[in-house]
Structure 1
Amino acid sequence: MTSPAARTALDLTDGLPVPDLEDFYRDLHRHPELSLEEHRTAGKLAGRLKEAGFETAEGIGGTGVAGVLRNGDGPTVLLRADLDALPVKEETGLPYASEADGVMHACGHDLHVTWLAGAAGALAAGRETWNGTLLVVGQPAEETGQGAARMVADGLYERFGRPDVLLGQHAAPGPAGLYPHAPGLIMSASTDVDIVVHGRGGHGSRPESTVDPVVTAAYLVTRLQTVVSRELAAREAAVLTVGRIEAGTRHNIIPSEARIELNLRTQSAEVRERMLAAIRRIAQGECLAAGCPREPEITLGNTFPETVNDVGTDTSVAAVHREVFGAAAVFDPGPAMGSEDFPQLALGSIPYSYWFVTTTPAEVWEQAPGASFPEKFSAVPSNHSPRFAPDLSTVAPGVRTLVSGALAFLSVA
């Protein structure tokens, strides 16, 4: 037996304008924009929402877009997509590759916007089949963890109403056609940490008259690798990545400072605090051992919360996805180490469901080395890779996931 939500979703997405949506996606991919610079992308989405009959506003939280379609009594459902690209030089070789030097949609947000535009259009065209309010949000600056909070602070809910449920999805590596769900923790928290090591600069020929911050930074980077391997229990999932080291200006100049930028991924507040305490202890200890003239500066940067699906909400969405796509296509992958600012739209109390849509082209997956799923998963281009290129065959299914998810909560007529 198929539920009314699943039947209606299949009906509303049966005649999707797939060629038009694919062209829309290619255009977005050619013109990526960095966080809080998504003016063109926001304008493109806003245009689609206006054409579909949504009351639309731009510039929310900087470059955010929101559209609302009030369609009688019923729940308010929010569908969200993120708009921003990454400072990555594209290496896909696609005919519609990025035309912006050093900027690329390497995380699939162009596909997210396409899915959102398609779902908004389908639900608007079939508004006689459901009752309630549909709130569609194009959010800026997900990559920097700023966008969701900025839109809320700028009065998103005061202007359009507080939703009863939030729904979102993300393109992910894996053979196209899977829709992973996790009832509970699905994505980890993220914390950026900046460290400045202070030394005493001088001529490269006289290191004895200096305190070399480069050497200290090198020791620090090496020692930081023991935080996860030696200070956390094996059952406690965490990642510490040093993403950048910067020091000096010339070959023969010992600089006066070195900068280290690192990122933590954690799945509990307690582990996060222990890791931060360890980073502070190690940084201070290495600088003391080196005789640095000052203690290191340690600053916390962008942070993302844990993404924890409401169990009831996610169970409902996963159930309708099983009806629409087949039971084998929906499974629980366990929590990922990636992070999202989507939970900031929930204000700590609005239930939400967030899931993945796998997008690796079949031929890429088949040609990837390895025989098992984990081996191939590790080998194919992933999010943030300069070779990340989602399969266009996922355009229609990604619209269908949002439409069916929304109809699981809207009052189906």
Structure 2
Amino acid sequence: MDSAKRTVCSSSIFDHASARCPLRGLALSLLLAASPCHALDAVAVKRQVDGILDRDYPRWEALYRTVHQHPELGFEETATAQRLAKEMRALGFHVSAGIGRTGLVAMYHNGPGPTIMVRTELDALPMRETTGLAYASDVHLQSSDRDTYVAHTCGHDIHMAAWAGTAATLVQLRAQWRGTLMFIAQPAEEKGRGAQAMLDDGLFARFGKPDYGFALHVGPDAYGHVFYKAGAVTSNSDALEVVFQGKGGHGAMPAATIDPILIAARFVVDVQSVISREKDPAAFGVVSIGAFNAGTAGNVIPDRAQLRGTIRSHDPQVRDKLLDGVRRTALASAQMAGAPVPQIALGERGSRAVINDAALAERTGAVFAQAFGVDAERQREPSAASEDYSAFVAAGVPSFYFGIGGLDPQWLQQARQTGERIPVNHSPDFAPVPQPSIRTGVEAMTLAVMNVMPPPS
């Protein structure tokens, strides 16, 4: 996830099964009608999951520590994918590698029923870790075209452990459900291109389109808690890149130049008026500039200045307004200085908002409330974060994307009282507490999947 946070039954889970086998689909639909949501006893199932985790958990923390200590960047996650493939094959899944370059698809067939997709991310971030953990990453990539540290500071390591743990738990509980598990390990979520790469590589054409999809994300909240909502759960994310062309010269003779740094600086300030004066104050929208690159010496006015940033929104109309406002402001900034028309790239490599299926959200939320009680929290507003899981939603997979907490609740309460900084996703010191985070992820994801799987007939 790029970073920041989040009882109706639906027979649509069996739509694809019905298309493949009308009689089976009719039988399953009648089963749902007779027994809404097949009355999953969430408390009893959670108790079973906890018993399995009491025995299996060390295996998942070992996996977490391994991937944490050996992170890989997007579309380069070969060792990470190999490790996950080994785990899934040991569980009896049929694993296909190299989907979307470095992604995995692991299939487990357990009789007639729906196909349920569960996704994890594989990639880490190009930054240096400062957690001080005994198993902290010290991976440092150096070559002619890059020099960067690599670290799992978004929580994908937690996700992978919970993903594998959920797969193992569902296999051990296979006598209680029927259907097909489609566990996918997606590359390059941080680049915003991994989900689409898997789709472009024929993910659904080759393995079948799932009836429902699930994904989770850990965040800087109290561990043991789960967070969910219907509708939009993340933001639209659009990349922003503007290159202002000027006319370089001596810093002591600015009248003989067109200063691109001054133009770019004016743009950085003026573009915020799009937020404060053109957007509805009640609607979420952000334009942030994260990179400003220009010049090589203090006494030289350069020929160009490059800006890179991000545009965030929830509403499609707000998104269009922000994109238009950024473009107009960039053109006006250059025109005011008599500079050439700038190079403007907007919306590339972005992600649309993840939209949770309303019926699935209500159905799964009810199970979470039963199993977790007050620790299951319905969110009111979408997160400011972005997430390319939205590509699967856009491809027609009814989905449920939810959050889990990862930080010690007592420390979190104290930090909020004292004003101590709380590490968030993408912070160099973001380090969810492994055991309660992974266990909650396995519990919640197992419940979510079993709630849409029919029991044996």
C-alpha contact 1:346 1:352 (8 A) present in aligned 2? yes
Match of 2:47 among 4, 10, 20: 10
Residue type matched to 1:81 in 2? T
1:5-404 → structure 2 map (5 Å cutoff): 7-16=44-53, 17-101=56-140, 102-292=149-339, 294-300=340-346, 301-370=348-417, 379-392=421-434, 393-404=436-447
Q: CA deviation at 1:6?
A: 5.0
Q: How far off its partner does 1:369 sit?
A: 3.4
Determine helix, strand or coil for the equivalent of 2:227: coil
Q: TM-score, normalised by structure 2?
A: 0.86
Indicate if the aligned counterparts of 2:369 and 2:376 stay in contact, CA closer than 8 A: yes
Whole-angstrom CA distance in 1 between matches of 2:246 and 2:362: 55
How many angstroms apart in 2 are the aligned matches of 1:324 and 1:280?
49
CA contact (8 A) 2:111 2:180 kept: yes
Alignment partners' CA distance in 1, 2:178 and 2:224: 29
Give the aligned residue type for 1:361: D
Query: 1:14 Cα deviation (Å)?
Result: 1.6
Find the aligned partners of 2:407 and 2:448 in 1 and give their Cα distance. Answer: 22
TM-score (norm 1): 0.95
Deviations 1:26-56, CA, capped at 9 Å, x for gaps: 1111111111111111111111110000010
Indicate if the aligned counterparts of 1:145 and 1:303 stay in contact, CA closer than 8 A. Answer: yes
Letter in 2 for 1:391: V
User: AA paired with 1:331?
Assistant: R
Amino acid at match of 2:98: G
Q: Deviations over 1:218-248 (max 9, x none)?
A: 1110111221112111111111110100011
| Rounded Cα–Cα distance in structure 2 between residues aligned with 1:412 and 1:325 | 22
Q: Secondary structure at the match of 2:45?
A: helix
What residue in structure 1 maps to residue 32 of structure 2?
none
Secondary structure in structure 1 of the residue aligned to 2:291: strand
In 2: Cα distance, 1:169 partner to 1:6 partner:
20
Q: CA deviation at 1:308?
A: 1.1
Tell me how far apart the structure 2 counterparts of residues 401 and 328 of structure 1 sit (CA, whole Å). 11
1:278 CA drift (Å): 0.9
Letter in 2 for 1:406: V
In the alignment, the residues of structure 2 paired with residue 359 and residue 252 of structure 1 have an alpha-carbon distance, to the nearest angstrom, of 49
CA contact under 8 A between 1:9 and 1:400: conserved in structure 2?
Answer: yes
Structure 2 partner of 1:407:
450
Return the alpha-carbon distance in structure 2 between the equivalents of residues 43 and 237 of structure 1. Answer: 40
Using the aligned pairs only, state the percent identity.
36
Mapped contact 2:225–2:440 kept (Cα < 8 A): no
Aligned length: 407
- Cα gap change, 1:370/1:122 in structure 2, threshold over 3 Å: closer, same or farther? same
The 1-side partners of 2:443 and 2:73 are apart by: 28
Q: For the residues of structure 2 that align with 1:284 and 1:245, how far apart are their CA atoms?
A: 17
SS at match of 1:334: coil
Q: Which amino acid aligns with 2:365?
A: A
- Does the 8 Å contact 2:186/2:195 carry over to 1? yes
Q: Is the 8 A contact 1:9 1:407 kept in 2?
A: no
Tell whether the 8 Å contact from 2:71 to 2:150 is kept in structure 1 after alignment.
yes
1:74–1:132 CA contact under 8 A, matched in 2:
yes
TM-fit CA distance, 1:330: 2.8
SS in 2 for 1:143: coil
Unmatched 5+ stretches in structure 1 = none
Distance 2:46 2:180 in 1: 16
Q: Which amino acid aligns with 1:203?
A: H
Distance 1:360 1:11 in 2: 25
Q: Letter of the aligned partner of 2:448 in structure 1?
A: G
Greater Cα offset, 118-127 or 4-13: 4-13
Structure 1 CA distance, aligned partners of 2:236 and 2:342? 25
CA separation in 1, counterparts of 2:41 and 2:95? Answer: 29
